Amino acid sequence: MEKEDLKVLNKGEEEEMELQGYRLCRWRVALVGLGVLCTGGFLLLLLYWMPEWCVKSTCTRTTARDAEVVLLRSTDEFRRWFLARVRVMLAPGSNPFHSLETRTTSPSPSSPSCPFSSPHLANGHNLNPSDGGPAQELIRKFADYQPTQIRYFTFHSTTYYWIDGVQNFGVLNGLGDLQVSCSTLHSEHSLGLTRNQQEYRRLFFGVNEIAVKVPSVFKLLIKEVLNPFYIFQLFSVILWSADEYYYYAVAILFMSVISIATSLYTIKKQYIMLHDMVATHSTVRVSVCRANNEIEEILSTDLVPGDVMVIPSNGTIMPCDAVLVSGTCIVNESMLTGESVPVTKINLPNPLPGEMGEETDCVYSTEEHKRHTLFCGTNVIQTRFYTGDLVKAVVVSTGFSTAKGQLVRSILYPKPTDFKLYRDAYLFLLCLVAIAGIGFVYSIVLSVLNKVSAKTIIIESLDIITITVPPALPAAMTAGIVYAQRRLKRLGIFCISPQRINICGQLNLVCFDKTGTLTEDGLDLWGVQRVENGSFHPSEENAYKENLVKSQFVACMATCHSLTKIEGQLSGDPLDLKMFEAIGWILEEATEEETSLHNRIMPTVVRPPKQLLPPQPAASPEQDMELYALSSAYEIGIVRQFPFSSALQRMCVVARLLGEKRMDAYTKGAPEVVASLCKKDTVPDDFAEVLEGYTKQGFRVIALAHRRLESKLTWHKVQNINRDHIEANMEFLGLIIMQNKLKAETPAVLQDLHRASIRTVMVTGDNMLTAISVARDCGMIAPRDTVIIADALPPHDGQAAKITWRYADKPSKTSRMEDVNISLDDVCHVDEPKTEKKELYHFAMNGKSFAIISEHFPDMLQKLVLHGTVFARMAPDQKTQLIEALQGVDYFVGMCGDGANDCGALKRAHGGISLSELEASVASPFTSRTPNISCVPNLIKEGRAALITSFCVFKFMALYSIIQYISVTLLYSILSNLGDFQFLFIDIAIILLIVFTMSLNPAWKELVSRRPPSGLISGPLLFSVLTQILICLGFQTITFLWVRQQSWYTVWTPLTDVCNVSSHTNVSEHNDTEVDDHNIQNYENTSLFYVSSFQYLVVAIVFSKGKPFRQPSYKNWPFMLSALSLYVFLLFIMFYPVKGIDDFLEIVCVPFEWKIKLFIIILVNASVSVVAEGCIDLRAYKCLSRLCCPSKITPKARYMHLAQELRVDPDWPPKPTTTTEAKSCPANGSNYQIMINS
């Protein structure tokens, strides 16, 4: 049953989870309750931290269908556990999309049309009264219906319902669940819902709101305090109070309170920010169409999928995702895309069965029909409508199912940051706990042998644990990240995920968007090259000429765009703006009054300036002035617009010249695509050469085409025609050449990254050859390097998918490709001398090829990303897939984009940096105020400094706890301990002061090729820590044994004065006069206190590393000042005792000659520590690297392993004469074969 009833939720999606059903067991609950009482509530805490234990200890397994509690486990690498309570609600039906009014009988549970059918029996469940409440009124309305029980649970703001048809829980997203076609949306869903249908659907889809509830301070406090580390601190404070260590207990309590308060403030602030961002559309009044043609005004929170919403003419902020079924809207989508350019949305086409083929009537999909969909949170600026028909949109999804809801969910419930440092930190803590366990047993045995009271045994043995695991560790570890965050802020880089700063120190590959990131945002018109009679004219600087004003080329530039006027200003895509401004024409749009008075949409009109038009003959007196003005005018009206589609890589308009009966179609887009739509005789023979010439120089080229439409195509037919019927048999008009300049900082930054052995990759939506040219210009691809383009073709006519390989251009110097050097410098971090400069190669591919290779050549994809440098024509989701593919071969990936279409990739990368300060940067961990890529090396430098700081602090805190552990263990052997104020002085004055100042070292001024280690469990780091532990142990043991061998040594009493020799005779008389309860004051304690205090300072200086990742410690003046002050103070109280200080620290007076000996011990200890660490830095790095990963052993990182394999592969890289075909049945583990073309 275990395996059979393991359900998988969200299969194949990012949030895929395994589900197991459980039923509450009363006797188990009672037993756990007893356990909670016996353990003083500790068992309850343990079950709170471990959901799996909680469910398994209180419940028994059952089927998912009958479950009262479900146990969920994520299928990603983190394998996290969650639990959710299954609830039951009563509803008059089981399918939200059924129309209750049309049904005459109660629903049959076995009916296939009822996917949410449930048995009518309660199955032993108590119905949830709060959930049943809203349904009661509906049930009374539909008395003929038998109430149905709906079983569901809520997890991460998503409701999962039990679906009988698939015997699993599933999510209700909205109209998308019905897989409706475009024509069905128009015919069946554009009339609206009745009030009863709306209320019925709301039972399932809930209130339409993205509820980011800001938790109360009390709730946050309870959640924060129940953190395992704070519980450990609470345990420590109670223990120290029992042992009368009140001062230190209060100090730790004070630190904890400050830490909790800071954490609560930060969390609360983030919740409020997110709540405010989401609340902009939370409740607005909207007009909806009812099924009886009434318009009703309701609150947006009442909207459900299927409602028909009327978009007001003055615009609104969309409260849901909806598809336009009539009218046109101009929308600002910066909330989702990061691009503030207004986008024109047109109504969803309604293919009529008589006119169109069935293949055009596809299933509606939010992704495929983006240009017809209004997304939640986006701002509708203005609408276009005409008499008798309002601008209407059918609600597709509401609440957290919307695009904005998904974005908010990803922020509310982020994936945990998987980083080796944090995993190793827990392992290191476990090691400290193991050491504490040894001390725990040792202290118990010692105390029992010395017949110490039971209370003292318990307190002192538990005290060892609190000493070994330092309670100040979290605060110390956070300090370095907080300082790095402050330094980044000064550099203009803002961070919303501080834990990612450390991960940025490991980045070894950075992906860059091209336009707006590597190059300037705007495009300048470089020139035009017209085509006439199938051949190119010489290139011209511009088209602002009298002889061209009435040409089809200029008409295409004037009409084929998505520009609109907002408050009198032209607005739209920057490329369209530059193109339109270059011809100097005027654009006029119909006003609201004009559109509402006419039965048809008044077209947008464009006209040339009067000075460009040839002079007209003067009007004769008898000629009607109005007719004369009409005949002399030259205007083009834009009748229909097919907006730019990134999938089709083109846009198209249908326009009509004033006075003409026939209409014209104009298309502009990617040259290769536009040329394929044109008649072959109109495309020049040298088209490919001319295009390649421009793209190699880095120009962005756009092609224009025109077609005279048939006279039978009326205005009405044009409004419903499919664009494929128009975009065919066109005439090629020529090319527009746009220049996209590199940003001044780009080449230097990329050079810095290359010097630091950080790979750079370009991911762009632009043309392939333009991208390769920009990559060469900016230094991403060296001039001598070969670029191999991978062109993939999907399976066709029974043939397997295949990749053809070709060179983008011939390198200046040819060499045998078998000698390609795949750099393995990263392996074991050893810098090997390069004997000869060998030619490198780079792969380039477009989004289409990337998709085919991902699907049909998964093994090949891993090899291609190893040297893939240019990825062109990439869709937003493909950018995210590329990031995942790079992470799949163990790269630490950074992503830098301007926010437009890069949201998914920025969020998925280890370190995503948005150059846009728009709301889309909410998805990015880092946002730069500097709009160029100079922020990337700054972030990596600060990441490396923060990472090294984390290592330094962790090593120092580990040594601090071990040094104190050694001192206490040695003193326990004589039934002594460190005093309360000695602990206080060490922990507050030395440790906290040092740990908070040693983290202040700024980043090193330049990036080096060496990367810091990614984890604590690495050879050099462990060797360093172990060496220092042994040194400290040795010198403390020597001190402890040597003091007892001194001639003046005796058991100390309050009257003992070894500083004054004359009093020696009276020692025996006063031995038993006054006894110290805790036996703190003795010579061993004083000697160990001095030596250990200096040891803390020595290891702090030894571990505070500078170059090559941080500035040297002598430049960190707060740290140097703190360390020197403590050295001076300790030497002062050692050589010049002050009675008040000695009494406070419970130090006893020792002879001067012993102080000199202690000083020598301290000096030798410091020298040995410094020399040992220096030797580890110089020698151990390379020696341990060779020991840990000799050349025969496969490197840990997958990309290094692949590079080793490819270095000996004779068929790699593929030659330009080869084709790689996918195999249907992989024989030897490979899913492709290379064939040489004859």
Active-site residue set: 513
**Upstream peptide bond of 1195 is cis (omega within 30 degrees of 0):** no
- Taking a C-beta distance cutoff of 8 angstroms, is the pair 876, 850 a contact? no
Sign of CA dihedral 619, 624, 625, 626: negative
User: CA–CA separation, 1123 vs 994, rounded Å?
Assistant: 7
| Angle, helix 454-468 to helix 228-242, in steps of 10 degrees | 140
Report the side by side order of strands in the sheet with 911-914: 493-495, 926-928, 911-914, 893-897, 509-512, 759-763, 868-872, 841-846, 786-793, 802-807, 1218-1222, 1232-1236
DSSP letter at 776 equals: H
Chain centroid, CA 124 distance in Å: 43
- Taking a C-beta distance cutoff of 8 angstroms, is the pair 369, 930 a contact? no
Nearest-5° Cα angle at 124, 122 to 126: 75
DSSP letter at 627 equals: H
> What six digits make up the tokens of 964?
């104190």
> What six digits make up the tokens of 954?
């962790």
Q: Which residue has the tokens 């071990």?
A: 962
DSSP letter at 663 equals: -
Q: Do β-strands 664-669 and 650-657 pair in parallel, antiparallel, or remain unpaired?
A: antiparallel
Q: Do β-strands 868-872 and 759-763 pair in parallel, antiparallel, or remain unpaired?
A: parallel
- Taking a C-beta distance cutoff of 8 angstroms, is the pair 925, 912 a contact? yes
- Taking a C-beta distance cutoff of 8 angstroms, is the pair 802, 1219 a contact? yes
User: CA–CA separation, 1141 vs 371, rounded Å?
Assistant: 77
Q: Residue 230 phi/psi, 5° resolution? A: -70, -35
Which of 915, 887, 884 shows the shortest CA–CA distance to 901?
A: 915
- Taking a C-beta distance cutoff of 8 angstroms, is the pair 1010, 829 a contact? yes
Q: Any alpha helices (H) in 573-650, and if so which ranges?
A: 574-583, 592-597, 625-632
User: CA–CA separation, 208 vs 897, rounded Å?
Assistant: 32
- Taking a C-beta distance cutoff of 8 angstroms, is the pair 1098, 1165 a contact? yes
- CA torsion angle 365 371 372 373 (round to 10): 70
Backbone region of residue 332 per phi and psi (left: phi > 0; alpha: psi in -120 to 50; beta: other values)? beta
Q: Which residue has the tokens 């080869």?
A: 1218
Residue 104 exposed, middle or buried by CB count within 10 Å (0-12, 13-18, 19+): exposed
User: CA–CA separation, 662 vs 650, rounded Å?
Assistant: 23
> What six digits make up the tokens of 1027?
């060496």
> What six digits make up the tokens of 218?
């009390």
Q: How many residues does the chain have?
A: 1238
User: CA–CA separation, 469 vs 429, rounded Å?
Assistant: 7
What does 462-508 look like in DSSP terms, one character per residue? HHHHHHHS-TTHHHHHHHHHHHHHHHHHHTTEEES-THHHHHHTT--
374, β-bridge pairs? 322
User: CA–CA separation, 667 vs 244, rounded Å?
Assistant: 85
**Upstream peptide bond of 811 is cis (omega within 30 degrees of 0):** no
> What six digits make up the tokens of 105?
């009988």
> What six digits make up the tokens of 243?
């042992």
